[in-house]
Each structure stands twice: as C-alpha cells, then as structure tokens.
Amino acid sequence: MNREEEKKIFNEGFNIIGAIDEAGRGPLAGPVVAACVAFSRETKFNNKKLEQINDSKKLSVAKREELDKIIREEFDEVGIGVCDHKTIDRINILQASFLAMKKAVGALKKKPDYLMVDGGLLIPNISLKQKAIISGDSLVFSIAAASIIAKVVRDKIMREMHIIYPNYGFDKHKGYGTAWHLQNLKKYGPCPIHRKSFRPVKMVINK
C-alpha cells in the first residue's frame, strides 16, 4: 500500500501525523471504537510485514491480530477511543464516532499536528489540521493500520460481551445484524448492550 499521502503531508512541513479510523458504526450492539496511529517523518518502519497492511475488512482474523502487534511496535504511538451503546443512543452513531476519534487523539502523549481521517467527513470541533479521505482504509497505509487496530480492539470487546450475553452470538458476528443475530434478538429481546436507537432493535422493543 503506497505512502504518498503521508509523504505529501511531511513535505508540507508537518511533523507528526495521526491517522484515524473507526470500527463498529453499523452493528446493532456494542461500542464504536476509534484508533489513531501516530508517527513522525523520522519514524523507521523496519518490519517488512507492514507491507501486508490493508483495510481490516480484507484481512483474516489471524492476520489482523498479527499485524496489530507489529503496528503497535512500529508506530510511535497508538491511541484508542471508545463510545459505548448508551452514548450512541444518546447522541447518535455519527457523533459517537467523532467522539471516539477525539478520544483516540486525546489518548496520545504527543499530539499530532495533522490528522488523516477515514471517510468523507472531518472531525468537528478539533483544533488540528485534518484531511478526510474516502476509502482511506483501502488507499492509505497509515489509515489502514488504524483500521486494523480499531477492529482488533472492538472484536475483543465483543468476544468479552459474548461471555456475559451468550444468547446472541456476539463472538461470531460482533453485533452486526446477521440473520442469526436478528432471529435471536426477536427470540430473547434486546440485551443491555443493544443499541436501542437502531431500527431492528427499536422494532423488537416496540413489539
């Protein structure tokens, strides 16, 4: 995956880039998780396995978990931001995604002076230069790295939720609205981590 976007930003005189992506915008249950990977022009990416970085959705579970460890070792810093189901229901999923992204940036010890964000929207109310890149997780090396971290963290959370709420198969579909999940949602009703503002959950509650 090419690193042209990163090179352009450093050539403009910026020193630390934070690349951001989120996981969990679409599911019916659980949190939305954002990751920000930070690096400078001096960062040396030595591990050749970084060449395998891609959009997290295009990688196997095993490959994501292998790359997650390497990314954490090779990038200067990794920040994580989480917004739970209650926050999603209160402020909506888009605003919760933005809040998770801000938390991820806030978790870094050294603040970036430029952010690259996956998707078509800039993060509102953040006083940093930023660029939104549609399909950034498929096109930009560092955003793809962030997508892997976010996905691995969220999947781990959903596997833990499966232990507490075993009726829904969160360990398999991670809260997405699969046929099996919808069937069990109707059978058992929503559990405490279901997003009550999402239509399929709301329909079950209304019945």
Q: Nearest Cα to 193, choosing from 21, 179, 206, 166?
A: 166
Strand ranges (E), the chain: 16-23, 32-40, 77-83, 114-118, 129-133
Secondary structure tally for the chain: helices H, strands E: 9, 5
Strands 32-40 and 16-23: antiparallel
Residue 22 assigned ligand-binding role? yes
Residue 167 in tokens? 């009726």
Query: Are the beta carbons of 35 and 20 closer than 8 angstroms?
Result: yes
Helix, strand, coil fractions of the chain, as percent rounded to 5: 50, 15, 30
Measured N-to-C along each axis, helices 141-164 and 4-11 cross at an angle, to the nearest 10 degrees, of 120
Strands 32-40 and 77-83: antiparallel
Residue 12 assigned ligand-binding role? no
Binding-site residues sit at: 21-22, 118
Binding-site residues for a divalent metal cation sit at: 21-22, 118
